[in-house]
């Protein structure tokens, strides 16, 4: 890896809360960090590597705030019974699939979407893993895939009582061991969260133990929250309270915690999420696909809740998710609402969420991680900080990522992968393992 990399001739969008769109500037990367952004004429001398970004937009790599790598082997699987509601989807597909995963399956399930993430300019992913009959070592298998592709990731194991107390205990242990391991290394590339499936599959006993362990480790929690009405119905029937109230009472919420989905939360629950500084991650394509509803992120934003954007494994293309999210906010409310709330979820809030685990990511700024996406884009109308979101949603989203850099390492350049992986061989082995899994399904 070159000690330093100069990126010149591109349009630079810094993002951050005060986005700047810079013309005639260049960006210098040194030792995995952004060293300097300044007028191009101020850069003189020789550099280890020079990337010509003429005709391109240079911006921070995208962040995916809720993902499931393990779902990869469901692609093309036609053996699940038709499902009429969310619980049938879980029982007919996901809870049958995850039971069959081995640690080798978990590795290949991760490496395939990670390679695709490089192609789409996504450099940081917050994942939620499940493999209830191959729990121990599963997060190490996923970590291996992340390190081999060079992407930044926060990982967790999905603790649940749905497969019995023994599996729940093993899941608790897997989270504890992995989080401790990450804290020991502290390398700003791989972090650990304490994963939980959802309120309706986690008993009081398991929730209490998870809270105890998570707090002892100083870790945040990552849990599906009121994704479907069934989560709220179960909670009100069995616990005489709402889902967010239950999570608060057990100490699961907080500044380092992620409540994914929150499609069916009321105003009182939004207030709790705000007061506890819990991040909500919106997954519009998944919610539409599962017909569970449309989360009102406009109301969440008005309430002061930090709302990010995830894909829930529907894609690794964050611009595709962004566009879908905007259309659905318009559908839920009206076309005059939801534009900046949706754009900021990706462009501003995902970085805020990621910076709760990593150091200095999601913005092009001196001292920040050199995570970049360089995208083919010649603006056909004036583009500046004020209208950048409009260009991104209606123009950049239809363009192609040319170069992806994470932690100063060039992972793709000129649309060609630069990974130390044989993609054809990885895909061949993945298909071989998927076929075996399908035979067990």
For 365-409, how does the pLDDT look when each residue is reduced to its tens digit (9 = 90+)? 999 999 999 999 999 999 999 999 999 999 999 999 999 999 999
Q: What band does 219 get if pLDDT is binned at 50, 70 and 90? A: very high
Q: Is the pLDDT of residue 2 over 80?
A: no
pLDDT at 406: 98
pLDDT at 403: 98
How does strand 4-8 pair with strand 49-52?
A: parallel
In contact, 60 and 363? CB cutoff 8 Å: yes
Per-residue pLDDT reduced to its tens digit, 143-157: 999 999 999 999 999
pLDDT at 186: 86
The strand pairing partners of 160, in sequence order, are none
| 3-state class (DSSP) for residue 273 | helix
Q: What band does 178 get if pLDDT is binned at 50, 70 and 90? A: very high
Alpha helices in 60-203 (DSSP H): 86-89, 95-97, 103-119, 138-149, 165-185
The DSSP string of 283-315 is -HHHHHHTT-----HHHHHHHT--EEE--TTS-
Among 434, 426, 436, CA closest to 145: 426
CA quadruple 147, 253, 98, 429: dihedral, nearest 10: -10
Q: Is the pLDDT of residue 3 over 90?
A: no
Among 433, 435, 436, 430, CA closest to 113: 430
Average pLDDT, the chain: 97
Q: Retrieve residue 123's tokens.
A: 């450099």
Per-residue pLDDT reduced to its tens digit, 242-282: 999 999 999 999 999 999 999 999 999 999 999 999 999 99
Among 365, 306, 371, CA closest to 122: 371
Give 246's Cβ-side CA count (13 Å radius): 27
* Mean pLDDT across 177-200: 97
Q: What band does 45 get if pLDDT is binned at 50, 70 and 90? A: confident
In contact, 191 and 358? CB cutoff 8 Å: yes
DSSP 91: I
Domains of the chain, CATH where assigned: 4-61+363-417 (2.30.40.10)
In whole angstroms, give the CA distance from residue 38 to residue 430: 44
- 177's CB contacts (< 8 A; 6+ apart) are none
Percent of the chain predicted with pLDDT > 70? 100
* Mean pLDDT across 158-169: 98
Distance of CA 71 to the CA centre of its chain: 14
In whole angstroms, give the CA distance from residue 322 to residue 299: 18
Distance of CA 219 to the CA centre of its chain: 17
Distance of CA 353 to the CA centre of its chain: 10
Dihedral pair phi/psi, residue 357, rounded to 5°? -120, -40
In whole angstroms, give the CA distance from residue 249 to residue 170: 24
Q: Burial letters for 340-359: b for 16+ Cβ neighbours within 10 Å, e otherwise?
A: ebbbbbbbbbbbbbbebbbe
* Mean pLDDT across 331-349: 98
Q: Is the pLDDT of residue 226 over 80?
A: yes
Q: Is the pLDDT of residue 163 over 90?
A: yes
pLDDT at 253: 98
Instruction: State how far the alpha carbon of 106 is from the alpha carbons of 164, 322, 426, in Å.
Output: 21, 27, 13
Instruction: State how far the alpha carbon of 223 is from the alpha carbons of 197, 243, 270, in Å.
Output: 6, 11, 16
Q: Please, is 118 exposed, middle or buried when counting C-beta atoms within 10 Å of its C-beta (0-12, 13-18, 19+)?
A: buried
In whole angstroms, give the CA distance from residue 81 to residue 264: 26
Q: Please, is 420 exposed, middle or buried when counting C-beta atoms within 10 Å of its C-beta (0-12, 13-18, 19+)?
A: exposed
In whole angstroms, give the CA distance from residue 264 to residue 272: 14
């Amino acid at each position: 890896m070159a000690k330093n990399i100069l990126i010149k001739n591109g349009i630079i969008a810094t993002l951050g809360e005060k986005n700047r769109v810079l013309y005639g500037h260049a960006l210098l990367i040194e030792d995995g960090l952004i060293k300097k952004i300044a007028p191009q004429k101020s850069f003189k001398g020789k550099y280890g590597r020079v990337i010509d970004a003429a005709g391109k937009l240079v911006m921070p790599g995208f962040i995916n705030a809720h993902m499931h790598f393990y779902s990869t082997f469901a692609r093309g699987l036609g053996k699940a019974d038709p499902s009429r509601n969310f619980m049938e989807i879980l029982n007919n597909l996901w809870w049958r699939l995850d039971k069959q995963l081995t640690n080798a399956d978990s590795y290949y399930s991760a490496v395939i979407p990670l390679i695709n993430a490089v192609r789409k300019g996504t450099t940081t992913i917050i994942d939620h893993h499940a493999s209830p009959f191959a729990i121990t070592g599963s997060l190490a298998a996923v970590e291996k895939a992340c390190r081999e592709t060079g992407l930044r990731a926060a990982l967790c194991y999905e603790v649940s009582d749905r497969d019995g107390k023994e599996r729940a205990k093993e899941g608790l242990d897997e989270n504890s061991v992995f989080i401790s391991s990450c804290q020991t290394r502290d390398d700003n590339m791989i972090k650990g969260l304490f994963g939980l499936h959802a309120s309706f599959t986690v008993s009081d006993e398991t929730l209490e133990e998870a809270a105890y362990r998570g707090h002892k480790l100083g870790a945040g929690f990552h849990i599906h929250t009121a994704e479907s009405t069934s989560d709220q119905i179960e909670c009100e029937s069995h616990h005489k309270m709402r889902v967010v109230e239950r999570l608060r009472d057990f100490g699961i919420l907080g500044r380092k915690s992620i409540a994914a989905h929150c499609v069916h939360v009321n105003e009182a629950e939004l207030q709790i999420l705000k007061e506890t500084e819990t991040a909500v991650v919106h997954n519009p394509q998944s919610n539409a696909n599962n017909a569970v509803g449309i989360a009102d992120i406009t109301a969440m934003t008005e309430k002061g809740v930090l709302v990010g954007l995830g894909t829930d494994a529907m894609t690794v293309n964050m611009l595709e998710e962004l566009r879908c999210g905007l259309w659905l906010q318009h559908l839920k409310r009206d076309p005059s609402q939801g534009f900046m709330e949706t754009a900021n979820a990706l462009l501003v809030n995902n970085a805020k969420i990621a910076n709760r685990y990593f150091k200095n990511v999601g913005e092009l700024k001196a001292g920040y991680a050199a995570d970049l996406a360089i995208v083919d884009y010649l603006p056909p109308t004036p583009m500046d900080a004020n209208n950048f979101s409009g260009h991104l949603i209606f123009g950049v989203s239809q363009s192609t990522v040319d170069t992806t850099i994470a932690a100063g390492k060039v992972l793709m350049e000129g649309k060609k992968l630069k990974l130390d992986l044989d993609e054809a061989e990885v895909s061949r082995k993945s298909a071989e393992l998927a076929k075996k899994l399908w035979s067990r399904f």
